[in-house]
Amino acid sequence: MSGELWEVAKSLFPGGVNSPVRAKVQPYPFYVRGGQGPYIFTEEGKALVDFVLGYGPLFLGHNPPYVRRAVERQLERGWLFGTPSRAEVELARKIRRHVPSMEKMRFVNSGTEATMVALRLARGYTGRTKVLKFDGNYHGAHDYVLIDAGSAASEYGVPTSAGVPEEVTRTVSVCPYNDLSCVQKILSKEDHAAVIVEPVMGNMGVIPPSKGFLSGLREICSSTGTLLIFDEVITGFRLSISGAQGLFGVNPDITTLGKIVGGGFPIGVVGGRKEIMDQLTPSGPVFNAGTFNAHPLSMAAGVAVIEQLENGNHHVVAERAAKAFVDSLDDSLKLTHVVNRVGSMFQVFLGVSEVRNASQARKADREAYLRLHSSLLREGVFIPPSQFEALFTSAAHDQDVVDFVVRALRNAVRSVG
Ligand SMILES: Cc1ncc(COP(=O)(O)O)c(C=O)c1O
Ligand SMILES: NCC(=O)CCC(=O)O
């Protein structure tokens, strides 16, 4: 049972968990045995409609048969060879077909690694040291991005982590999201290697880019010799089969992917213009390597997922479910609130009337949000236990699920106040 496991876990893991946001579920995290479609099943045998979806990767829901079969086929043949395998070529060709700005790429093991490599590449390619990020954007858990970071770093009050050397912090400039004049001012010195941005912010809740923000970044970067990095770890293959760059029609120099493109298995991808990517070892001087890079199981799962996205109406189904959730929330909540949604990612902010950047998100009533989380859990619906995460829908969130969730929401909002 969850309570017993939690008691032991507290003595084994810092804070009882292996990634901080998991500890936010009260009074203790429920342990999960399995998942199927839009549902997860707890150790206690309770089914929950899942709007967390592994924090984004499971765009086709839990345990989709075609992904499972692809992974099983690979498992039968073995799963680690220290040499290239066919599936990495297949996955890379599919990625490049749908995200043409990724002319060449490198497969790594997490979004964290992908952004770490992207920033090192940008420094190596431009010969400049500094980079610019945005307040509340989260790019993983390495030194150069744990500065004014969103997600669990903000949730736990350490947007700038202890242990990050000041020498590193000094090389990272920070602007408010959606603030082009700040970016213009900082980049005008022409000493920044890159701007890294979540094209839709998904780590302070969801915050869309203002009209002209992404194209403005593109222009400022091009005119100052700064590389533009889109961190599409969440948005890649979610907002469209070509990610946010396809949706908004703005091409970055470097893209990072993760989550969906590994079908729920560990993955990160960094890709971009050929001449930039060719700076990576062994063709160039910027080092990257990894025992598990291009892991055959992740490659097989990724190919299977993209094949599905190429053939189905999965984005339509996921987006319809997200819209129904948001409409129902708007209808049932009496309290002042904002719901930000882009496609199948969204979040509600209670007690505020506008959220266009991280400082506005921080003003939302987080206690009320946690009450909503807890009461939805009682109704059989799992949303992230943190204001500073996104809710996700999948292609498995069909009309029956939507109807159930709408009823659950009507009951749950009563506890929000
Ligand atoms: C936009 C973005 N970039 C990078 C990361 C880091 O990815 P990972 O957790 O796979 O290291 C995340 C994780 O949520 C993310 O949302
Ligand atoms: N939005 C941040 C994440 O999705 C990370 C999940 C985790 O670290 O558990």
Tens of pLDDT along 155-179? 999 999 999 999 999 999 999 999 9
Dist. CA 39–CA 394, nearest whole Å: 11
Angstrom CA distances, 355 to 61, 67, 179, 337, stand at: 29, 37, 13, 10
Give me ligand 1 centre to Cα 55, in Å. 9
Q: Whose CA is nearest to atom 9 of ligand 2?
A: 19
The residue count for the chain = 417
Reply yes or no on whether 259 is catalytic: yes
Position in ligand 1 atom list of the atom nearest CA 19: 9
pLDDT at 312: 86
DSSP 54: G
SS3 of 167, please?
A: helix
Residue 190 exposed, middle or buried by CB count within 10 Å (0-12, 13-18, 19+) = exposed
What the block records as the tokens of 240 is 């469209």
Instruction: With beta carbons less than 8 A apart as the criterion, state whether 347 and 338 touch.
Output: no
Residue 416 reports pLDDT greater than 70? yes
| pLDDT average, residue stretch 185-191 | 98
pLDDT at 415: 77
Mean pLDDT, the chain, rounded, equals 97
Q: Work out whether the CA dihedral 30, 31, 36, 38 comes out positive or negative.
A: positive
Residue with the two structure tokens 């496991």: 5
Tell me which residues have their CB closer than 6 angstroms to ligand 2: 19, 21, 55-56, 138, 151, 203, 389
Closest ligand to Cα 111: 1
Q: Whose CA is nearest to atom 2 of ligand 2?
A: 151
**What domains can you pick out in the chain, each with its CATH number?**
2-63+313-415 (3.90.1150.10), 65-310 (3.40.640.10)
pLDDT at 417: 65
Give me ligand 2 centre to Cα 242, in Å. 22
Give me ligand 1 centre to Cα 111, in Å. 5
pLDDT at 266: 98
Q: Residue 361: which of 54, 91, 151 has the closest Cα?
A: 151
pLDDT at 172: 98
DSSP sequence for 150-166:
-HHHHHTT-SS-TT--H
| CA 292 to the chain's CA centroid | 21
User: Ligand 2, residues 52, 151, 204, 233: which to mutate, most atoms within 8 A of Cβ?
Assistant: 151
Instruction: With beta carbons less than 8 A apart as the criterion, state whether 137 and 150 touch.
Output: yes
Strand partners, 83: none
DSSP sequence for 69-111:
HHHHHHHHH-S--SS--HHHHHHHHHHHHH-TT-SEEEEESSH
Residue 18 reports pLDDT greater than 70? yes
Instruction: With beta carbons less than 8 A apart as the criterion, state whether 97 and 242 touch.
Output: no
Q: Residue 252: which of 220, 278, 283 has the closest Cα?
A: 220
- The kind and range of the H/E element at 194 are strand 192-197
- At position 32, the amino acid (one-letter code) is V
Residue 16 reports pLDDT greater than 90? yes
pLDDT at 100: 98
Strand partners, 231: 256
Closest ligand to Cα 22: 2
Reply yes or no on whether 398 is catalytic: no
User: Ligand 1, residues 108, 204, 234: which to mutate, most atoms within 8 A of Cβ?
Assistant: 234
Q: What percent of the chain has pLDDT over 90?
A: 98
Dist. CA 94–CA 165, nearest whole Å: 39
- The kind and range of the H/E element at 338 are strand 337-342
Q: How confident is the model at residue 394 (pLDDT cuts 50, 70, 90)?
A: very high
| pLDDT average, residue stretch 21-28 | 96
Give me ligand 2 centre to Cα 264, in Å. 13
Instruction: Check if 328 has its Cβ closer than 6 Å to any atom of ligand 1.
Output: no
Reply yes or no on whether 369 is catalytic: no
| pLDDT average, residue stretch 396-414 | 94
Q: Residue 345: which of 238, 236, 198 has the closest Cα?
A: 238
Give me ligand 2 centre to Cα 313, in Å. 27
Instruction: Check if 258 has its Cβ closer than 6 Å to any atom of ligand 1.
Output: yes
DSSP 408: H
| pLDDT average, residue stretch 271-278 | 98
What the block records as the tokens of 258 is 């993760």
Strand partners, 108: 268
* Number of CB atoms found within 10 A of residue 351's CB: 17
Residue 338 reports pLDDT greater than 70? yes
* Number of CB atoms found within 10 A of residue 163's CB: 7
Give me ligand 1 centre to Cα 263, in Å. 15
Per-residue b or e along 51-85, where b marks 16 or more CB atoms closer than 10 Å to that residue's CB = bbbebbbbbbbbebeebeebbeebeeeeeeeeeeb
